[in-house]
């Protein structure tokens, strides 16, 4: 197996603001693994709050490369990948995705088939709107492609005015992501009461990631599902939060790829948790990887390719908010311009 990687800057169609800051794009590292004439693709998205820089991630991938060189099968490569303690999680995710893509191409099966997931994707994807003024939020809502659920980022003094602006023009399913912005108990309870009136499908990460007491208070004070995102990174965190929220947001970049994400979904189900499958502004490559697991999840927030302007891959599309993948083997995507 031969592994290579290169940096890629993903550009957003519009600047994207969440409670943690604003940005116009995201640095990524693309991974390719070749064997027997086939190439598997993977993607490490590196949003600034993760602290993993492209040079560091590429160095770590290149350091891992010589372990892969003599290997003949993806199963052994995934065991090595799981054992490695030095690779940053986004790098692990990219390598894991590329190994699954490669194996699918070699066996002429989709990754979904390799994983034994029979049913097709039926859940409607959310479309994310970042923090903005109520007027801008309303304008953006009116431009959301048909069929998508709306996911609204909140965490500014205009939150209620934004929700009112949304409901003036949209009465469909609405999801809310607070990105840790409710920092005290009184404010959280007051905001919760007001937000309930807008009937969101779920409320994501309302409070700081390590404040499990506040998370617990919020989730036990409302019938609306409260989903932990930043509080949950990898498999071990599921047990830590299981009693204090209703569900978890699983992202390949956070946990290290398709393999650990699949395990996390299984564990979450054993613990009675709901599962949201999320993303970090990936191109069609990382999103196609996550989408393999979509049939196992309650909600999917995989809108990366719609929000970016320079997707280097094709093969994934959205039909009335439902992700459709080419039936091609592996992840079902190909590099633009390549046959
Ligand atoms: Mg989130």
Summarised one tens digit per residue, pLDDT across range 212-251 is 999 999 999 999 999 999 999 999 999 999 999 999 999 9
| pLDDT over 70, % of the chain | 99
Candidates 42, 43, 152, 129; CA nearest to 307 is 129
φ and ψ at residue 21, rounded to 5 degrees? 140, 180
Q: How far is the CA of 283 from the centre of ligand 1 (A)?
A: 18
Q: What pLDDT, on a 0 to 100 scale, did the predictor assign at position 334? A: 95
Q: How far is the CA of 18 from the centre of ligand 1 (A)?
A: 9
Question: Residue 313: is its pLDDT beyond 70?
Answer: yes
Q: How far is the CA of 267 from the centre of ligand 1 (A)?
A: 20
CB 8 within 8 A of CB 309: no
From residue 305, give the alpha-carbon distance in Å to each of 43, 81, 244, 280, 284: 13, 27, 32, 10, 6
| pLDDT over 90, % of the chain | 91
Task: Place 338 in a pLDDT band, splitting at 50, 70 and 90.
Answer: low
Question: Residue 339: is its pLDDT beyond 60?
Answer: no
Q: How far is the CA of 179 from the centre of ligand 1 (A)?
A: 6
Question: What's the whole-model pTM score?
Answer: 0.95
Question: Residue 99: is its pLDDT beyond 90?
Answer: yes
Q: How far is the CA of 228 from the centre of ligand 1 (A)?
A: 8
Span 19-45, average pLDDT: 93
Ranking 13-22, 70-79, 302-311 by mean pLDDT, the lowest is 13-22
Q: How far is the CA of 230 from the centre of ligand 1 (A)?
A: 7
Q: How far is the CA of 205 from the centre of ligand 1 (A)?
A: 6
Q: Cβ neighbours of residue 216 under 8 Å, at least 6 residues apart?
A: 243, 244, 245
């Amino acid at each position: 197996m031969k592994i290579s990687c290169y940096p890629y800057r993903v550009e957003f169609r519009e600047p994207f603001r969440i409670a943690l800051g604003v940005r116009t794009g995201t640095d990524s590292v693309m991974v390719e693994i070749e064997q027997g004439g086939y190439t598997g693709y993977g993607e490490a998205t590196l949003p600034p709050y993760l602290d993993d820089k492209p040079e560091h991630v590429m160095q770590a991938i290149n350091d891992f490369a010589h372990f892969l060189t003599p290997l003949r099968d993806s199963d052994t490569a995934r065991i090595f990948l799981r054992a490695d303690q030095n690779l940053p999680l986004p790098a692990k995710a990219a390598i894991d995705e590329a190994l699954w893509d490669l194996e699918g191409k070699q066996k002429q099966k989709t990754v979904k088939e390799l994983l034994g997931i029979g049913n097709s994707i039926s859940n409607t994807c959310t479309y994310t709107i970042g923090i903005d003024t109520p007027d801008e939020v309303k304008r953006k809502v009116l431009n959301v492609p048909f069929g998508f659920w709306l996911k609204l980022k909140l965490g500014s003094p205009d939150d209620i005015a934004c929700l009112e602006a949304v409901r003036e023009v949209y009465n469909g399913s609405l999801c809310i992501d607070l990105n840790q912005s409710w920092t005290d108990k009184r404010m959280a309870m007051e905001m919760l009461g007001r937000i309930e009136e807008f009937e969101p499908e779920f409320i994501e990460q309302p409070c700081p990631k390590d404040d499990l007491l506040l998370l617990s208070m919020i989730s036990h004070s409302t019938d609306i599902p409260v989903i932990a995102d930043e509080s949950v990174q990898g498999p071990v965190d599921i047990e830590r939060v299981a009693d204090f929220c209703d569900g978890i947001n699983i992202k390949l970049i956070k946990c290290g790829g398709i393999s650990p994400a699949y395990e996390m979904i299984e564990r979450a189900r054993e613990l009675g948790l709901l599962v949201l499958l999320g993303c970090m502004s990936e191109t069609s490559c990382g999103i196609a990887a996550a989408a393999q697991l979509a049939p196992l999840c309650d909600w999917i927030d995989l809108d990366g390719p719609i929000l970016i302007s320079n997707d280097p891959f094709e093969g994934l599309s959205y039909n009335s908010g439902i992700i459709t993948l080419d039936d091609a083997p592996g992840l079902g995507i190909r590099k633009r311009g390549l046959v």
